[in-house]
Each structure stands twice: as structure tokens, then as C-alpha cells.
Structure 1
Amino acid sequence: MIKGGPVDRTARTARFARVAGNNGPERVLIAASFVNRVGNGLFNAASALYFTLIVGLPAAQVGSALTIAGLIGLAAGIPGGRLADRRGARTVMMAALAVQAVSMAALVLVESWTALTLLATLDQLAAAAGGAAWGALVARVGTERPALFRAKLRTFVNLGVIFGTVGAGLAVAADTRGAYVALILGNAASFALCAVLLLLLPSYPPLPAPPRERRLPALSDRPYLTFTVLYGAMGLQYPVVSLLLPIWISQHTEAPRWTVAVLFAVNAAFCVLLQTRLGSRIETPRQGGRAFRDAGLLFLVSCPLMALAGHTPVWVAAGLLLTAIFLHSLGEIGESSAGFALGFGLAPDHAQGQYQGLLGLGFSAGQALAPAILTTVVLGLGTAGWLVLAVFFAGIGAAGPAVARWGLRTRPRPPAVPADTPA
């Protein structure tokens, strides 16, 4: 092969497509999502420290402001998704990103609880509406091989969070007002850049709804509502790694505290390296239902291993934790891929935004309740709490195949084509 020749260029193009998307719109949306998540990683990892240490607000006030903002923001998901279906997903997402850029930049001026609550609420309302529109865009862009595209997209989303978190760690190490302000403005800039990148996407026209359809069909779609509840409940697996496990390691095991950072890195690495390879195989709702069940079974094994680390010597505990985080990462990939397969596969094409808004509402509600559930029930019961959590995940996952079958059985069937009609 001649280096730089046509064959070499073709091979490079094929390798690039395997990593970053099969066509221009896919690559644009992947790049925009990556930029957005880098900004999220910059801000989320250090926001609480900025408002408590630099601004000087009490931790309880910061927590209450963010909780109020998160709860109010939930209300914007379904209306934002419906607006995306009717006016165009790209338009709604760009508007939401613009609002987030302005509200995020204004946070550097915050000096009171009231200002923080108002700006955080505005940001969360825009985030919920933009998240629903993002889901509708994913459905319109990734049409060639949807499962492969969504797996690549999630890979780069995870990678963006990692890069952002590393940048936040540097700012926290500096521990100056200027460093924290740079994080906030960096996140604001990421929203603006993401909106600019979306200009490179085609302006996908809204798809017509069937005649006499209800105003909000997602709210009367019982199989989809059921999956939304299950998906929100299974989402408790994310704070298991980010919240519950660090507390367990520090208070109940002999493993050194730096083990927490190692496990974070291992979890992120597994998800980045394996998401595309494994997630691209989960394409249909039926496959999604099985992946949801398998994720629950993996959590059924990983949670007791985490609990067992509290009853073993230090090196045995470290080995158990690494094994548990590997299995948990596989479960996370299965759970997220099932969410894509069922969340998109059961939603009608003309109402993807509305349905994604509903699914996001369920997931966000689960994340809002997770800290209280995990820190009171699981930690309160100790080892038994971990076992209860494991059985909970397995039970939730076991419903996946049945919900998938139910959803497919109740989808509208395409009209039959007469035999003498030309294709």
C-alpha cells in the first residue's frame, strides 16, 4: 500500500467512521455532545465547592437551591419535547443551549441563595427541554445504524465528562476564585459552542402526526410509562458508584481512600472502551428488554461483592471491588443500551421529542430520589442493605422482556399494501 494513496485514504476514512460516525450529521452531533459534556464535567465536579468555599453560602442552602431547581426543571421535559416535535428539534435545542450559556455565565455574579436558586432553576428548565430535543435529534440523525450511532454517542459523552472532570480537578487543586470562575465560564462557553456546532446539522422538518391523535400521546402510552418508571428506578445504579460506594469504602472497608479514585477511573475506562462494542449489538426493543434483564442480573452480583469488601482484608477487598466495578460497568452499558433501544424503539417517529422528555423525566426523578434512598435505606441496613439493593435491581431488570413485548404488541401496525400495488 502506498502511504497517502487512495487505498490508504479509504482505510483511514473507514477507521474514522468506525470511531466518530458514519456521516456528517452523525459526526456533528457527536462533536456537539462531546463539547457539551466536557463543560458539564468542568462544572459539576466543582460547583458545590465554589458556592460554599468561594461565595460563602452554607452547604444546606446550596443543596436546597439545587434541589429546588432540579425539581422545577422536571416540568419542562415533556412540553419541551412536544415543542421540538412541532417546531423542529434543532431549533429548540439551540434555544435551550443559548439560555443555559447565559444563565451559567451569570452564576459568577451570584452572592445570595435567591440568585442561585433562580439561575439554577432557569438552567434546569432549559436543560430538561434541551434534553428532550436532543433525544429527537438523535432519532433523526442516526438512521443508518441507530444502535451503533447511539453507542458511539454515549462513548464520546462519557469521554467528555472524563476530560471535564480532569480539568475540574486542576481547578480544585489551585483552589482560587479565578480557577473556579474559569470552570463556570468554560461550561457556559461549551453551551455556546455546542449551539454553534448544531448549525452544521440539516434543519430536519417536523414529521406530521396521525389525525385525531391526543395532544400528549406519551402520557397515555401505558407500556412506555411503565418502562419510564423502570428506567428511572434502574438509574439508581449510577449513584451507587458515585455516592454510595465511596462512603462504603471510607467507612466500612480497609481499602485506602485513593481506591475511590481508581474505581472511578476503571468504571469510566470500561464504559468508554466497551460501550460501542457491546451497545451496538442492542438494536431492537426485544434486544433492549433482554439487555435490561441482563443488567439487573449483573447488578445482582456486583452489589454483594461491594458489600463483601467490608468484611475482608485490604487486598482481598481491593480485588473484590475491582471485580464488582467491572461487572457493574457491564451492567451500566447494558442498562444504557436498553434505554436507547426501548426509549427510541417504542416511541413514534413524529413524537420522539415528547417521548424522550417523558423518559428523561422518569430518569431525573430517580436521580433526585437516589441520594436519600441509598444513604438511608442501604447504608442504614449495612450489608443487608446491599443485598436488598441487589434484589431490587434484579427484579426491575426482570420486567424488561415483558415490557418490550407489551410495547411492541401495542404499537400501531403499518397499513397493509395490496398485492397488486407496485412497491
Structure 2
Amino acid sequence: MSIIKRGAERQTRGGPESGPQRALITAVFVSRVGNGLFNTAAILYFTFVVHLPATQVGLGLTIAGLSGLAAGIPAGNLADRYGPRTVWLTSLALQAVTMAAFVLIDSWLAFTVVATLDRLAATGGGAAGGALVARVGGEHPAAFRARLRTFVNLGVVVGTLGAAVAIQLDTRAAYTALILANAASFAFAGLIAFLGVPNYRPLPRPEEHRQWSVLTDRPYVSFVALYSAMGLQYQTVSLLLPIWLAAHTDAPRWTVAAVYAVNSGVCVLLQSRLGSRVETPRQGGRAFRLAGLLFLVSCPLMALTADVPAWVAPILAILAVCIHSIGEVWESSGGYTLAYTLAPDHAQGQYQGLFGIGFDAGQALAPVILTGAVLALGHPGWLLLGLFFATIGAAGPPIATWAERTRPTPPTPEAATDDPAPVGQGS
């Protein structure tokens, strides 16, 4: 292995040694601290300060979430055509404006319009950000994305702790400060990226490239559907388990906070370490299968918290969440690897746009599925959920093999060309 290649691998696996990687990690961390500040207290602000009924808030967020899906592929195409940094910075600027506008709303219609614009910007930013990760991450974008997720989780935790202060104060001024701090975090993140991340030139596109060609890539579409379905596991911990603990067990209320902390802690500690082991499509497929098996163990354990004494329930819940969180790390690592390695370099924005749409759609449906089906069935529902995850995971290896088989043959080293040099960082 050449010295240059070993250096590139250390840069991606061993730590964020390059300037662009450090800058992108810092920018994302700052924006996620803002997200943690806002998301934790958002529902309280809209219901107690703006005085919107919770049902109206839920309807507005649903409309916004579904409308936001429309931005994924178009924004990805813009990133492929004009460069991912330009589109990502634009989305951050739009989110700074829409977030600040929340302090001015006084009606459901205004709330829904602002929330919709915010989600359109966020979805577009996700597509462009995914393409930017592919360029900044170099030869190992999935490993870099896994390490980036560590700082995403850490940023949300820091922001959540800050939001607790505002929630305790419970005043309009405190909630307004959170919203404006989140708006400022987008602006600050954009400034960091503008100064520290190169403005990568778009890659040459082959003649057969089409703006919607990702939709004809059946293996990739199948993978996105698989990842969307497996994405139910995120809200298994964040939504389903807290409701179960509160309504069906005698566990002390602090157990809910404990499972959040454990979930975030395990992901922060293991995401980079395990994610660096998943680099090829076949490894991504096997990671999916392993994740499904771990979820098959964790889901029934969560259900059993209703059948044990109050002092045992927190221990069992934390054990289940530890197992589930390890599965989450494998699931996300496999997903990132497949998302990047199966996408053509010149169309990363378009492909990451579809990847984000699939994930967001799954998350939008998760509350209905988890609360409407699993909770309604009780213990059998938890077992069926675990079996569902195991089945989805088992489909990972064959889909990965199919997708890998249908990728174009890479060029020989003699025919390969170097990545166009980035434009100056301030451009």
C-alpha cells in the first residue's frame, strides 16, 4: 500500500485529520446543538406559548414533513450540477431564516407555512450534505459519515441539556431564546463550512445521465425501501419504549431519560469504531443482517419490562436498549456504506436525495405503525416487530449482492482520472 493511500485511510479512519473534514464535522456539530435546543422544547413552545392545540401542531408538522420530501431529488440534482457546498450553504441560510420566523407566528396557517418551508430546506440540505460528505470523505465516505454521526448524536445531547434550562424556566423569553439560538446555529454552521470546506467542482456527467435516473436503478430503490423499513427501529427507542414504560410498567419515570442517555452514549462510543469495519456493499448487507438479529433480541426484552418488578424494569430496559443501540450502529453503518458505494460519483446528490426521502418517509409513518399496531397487540406486537426487523435484515445481503452485480465496471487505474481540484475555499 502506498504512503499516500495509507495517509488517506488514516485521515478517514483514525480521525478527522484534514481541514475540510474538521470543518464539516464542526459545522454539523454546531447545527445539531441548535437542533437539540429546539426539538426538545418545540412542542411546548407551540402549544403553551403560541397556544396552538396539540392536534393542530401534529397536523402542521405532518403536512410539512410530507411536503418536504419533494425537495430531495431536485436539490440533489442541483448539488450534482453546481456543487454540493453551494446548495448546502443555501439550505443552511434558508433554515436560519425559517427558524427565526417561528418567533413571529401567531396562527396555525403561519405555523404550517413556516414549518413546510423549513422542511423543504432541511430535505434539500440533507441531499446536498450527503453529496458533500462523499467529496470530503475521500475514498471512505461511509466511514467518514459514520464518524460524523458520532458528532451528530453528541451535538443533540449537548443541545438537549441546554434546552432543559429553558423548559425549567418555562417562559416565553426562554423558549424564544432557544429558537433564535437554533437559527444562529445554522448561520454559524454555514460560516464554518464556507471558510473551511472547499467548493468542490461538479464531476463530469456521462451522456446517459438523467435527472431522475436514480428512480430506474431498481437495486438502489430496493435498498432505500429496505432502509426505510428498518428505520422504524429509531422510534422504537425514542417513541414506543417510553410510552410502554409509562403505560405498562411500574418502572420509575427516570427510566425514560436513562434509555435516551444510554442509546445516545452507545452510539457515540461505537459508531466510528464499528462503522469503519463496513466498507463494501457485501459488508453493508451483512451489517444489516446482524442489526436485524440484534433487534430480534432487543424487542422482546423491551416487552418483558412489563412483567418484572419495578426495580428490575430499569435494568432490563437499559440492557435491551444497549443491545438495540449496537444494532442501530450496525444498521446505520450498513446503510451509509450501501448509500455511498452504490451511487455513481457524478450523481451522489441525486442518490442521497432519494436515500433521504426514503428515510424521512419511513420516519413519518413510524408513529402510526408503532403505536397503532405494536402497542395495540401488546407483547405479541413486540415479538412481531422483532421478527419484522430480522426479516428486513435478512434481505440485506441478497439486495447488496444484486446491487453490486449491476454496478458499472470501474475503470482501470490507467484510465481513471483524478478528482477535479477544488476551487478556493472562499469562492
TM norm. shorter chain > 0.5: yes
1:416 deviates by: 5.7
Counterpart of 1:4 in structure 2 is: none
Q: How many residues align?
A: 406
> Equivalent residue for 1:174?
169
Report the RMSD for the aligned CA atoms in angstroms: 1.8
Match in the other structure for 2:308: 312
2:294 paired residue among 283, 294, 298: 298
SS at match of 1:46: helix
Partner-residue secondary structure (3-state), 2:311: helix
**Pair 1:417–1:138, CA change in 2 (3 A):** closer
Give the partner amino acid of 1:356: Q
Q: Does 1:220 pair with 2:220?
A: no
Q: Are positions 1:108 and 2:103 aligned together?
A: yes
Please state whether the residue corresponding to 1:207 is helix, strand or coil.
coil
CA contact (8 A) 2:135 2:141 kept: no
- 1:10 is matched with which residue? none
Instruction: Among all aligned residue pairs of Structure 1 and Structure 2, give the percentage whose two residues are the same amino acid.
Output: 65
8 A Cα contact 2:211 2:350, kept in partner: no
Shift of 1:17: 8.8
- Residue 186 of structure 1: how far off its partner (Å): 0.6
Please tell me whether the aligned partners of residues 100 and 123 of structure 1 are also in contact (alpha carbons under 8 angstroms): yes
> What is the Cα deviation at residue 417 of structure 1?
7.7
Assess if the C-alpha contact under 8 Å between 2:56 and 2:108 holds in 1: yes
- Which of 112, 122, 129 is the matching residue for 1:127? 122
TM-score, with normalisation over the residues of structure 2? 0.92
Aligned partner letter, 1:360: G
Look up the equivalent residue of 2:165 and give its one-letter code: L
Offset, 1:208? 1.2
- How much does 1:278 deviate? 1.1
- Shift of residue 20, structure 1, vs aligned partner: 5.1
Are 1:77 and 2:72 an aligned pair? yes
- Residues 1:333 and 2:329 are matched in the alignment: yes
Please report how far the alpha carbon of residue 209 of structure 1 lies from its aligned counterpart in structure 2 after TM superposition.
1.2
Q: Is the 8 A contact 2:263 2:325 kept in 1?
A: yes
Q: Is the 2:300–2:383 contact (alpha carbons within 8 Å) kept by the matching residues of 1?
A: yes
In terms of mean alpha carbon deviation, does 193-202 or 141-150 score higher? 141-150
Counterpart among 270, 283, 287 of residue 279 in structure 2:
283
- Match for 1:395 among 387, 391, 394? 391
Could you say if the C-alpha distance between residues 378 and 71 of structure 1 is closer, same or farther in structure 2, counting changes exceeding 3 Å? same
Partner of 2:32: 37
Q: Is the 8 A contact 2:12 2:137 kept in 1?
A: no
What do the CA deviations read for 1:282-326 (whole angstroms, capped 9, x no partner)? 111111110011001000000000001111112332222111011
Check 1:416–1:16 CA distance in 2 against 1; reply closer, same or farther (3 A cut): closer
Counterparts of residues 17-416 of structure 1 (less than 5 Å)? 21-199=16-194, 200-415=196-411
- Given that residues 146 and 276 in structure 2 are in contact (C-alpha distance below 8 angstroms), is that contact kept between their aligned partners in structure 1? yes
User: Is the Cα contact below 8 Å between 1:147 and 1:281 reproduced in 2?
Assistant: no
Conserved in 1, the CA contact under 8 Å of 2:11 and 2:18?
A: no
**Shift in Å at residue 366 of structure 1?**
0.3
1:19 Cα deviation after fit: 7.2
CA contact (8 A) 1:100 1:191 kept: yes
Aligned-residue offset at 1:144: 4.5
Evaluate the alpha carbon distance shift between residue 168 and residue 19 of structure 1 in structure 2; reply closer, same or farther with a 3 A threshold: farther
1:184 Cα deviation after fit: 0.3
Cα gap change, 1:144 to 1:410, in 2 (>3 Å): closer
CA distance in 2, matches of 1:24, 1:386: 46
In the aligned structure 1, how far is the partner of 2:45 from the partner of 2:312? 37
- Cα gap change, 1:330 to 1:262, in 2 (>3 Å): same
Residue aligned with 1:80, SS: helix
Rounded Cα–Cα distance in structure 2 between residues aligned with 1:115 and 1:55 = 11
Residue 16 of structure 1: how far off its partner (Å): 11
Residue deviations 1:247-301, cap 9 Å, x none?
Answer: 1001111211111101111111111111111111111111111001100100000
Letter of the 1:190 partner, please give it. S
Using a 3 Å threshold, how does the CA distance of structure 1 residues 152 and 375 change in structure 2: closer, same or farther?
same
Aligned to 1:6: none
Structure 1 unpaired stretches of 5+ = 1-14
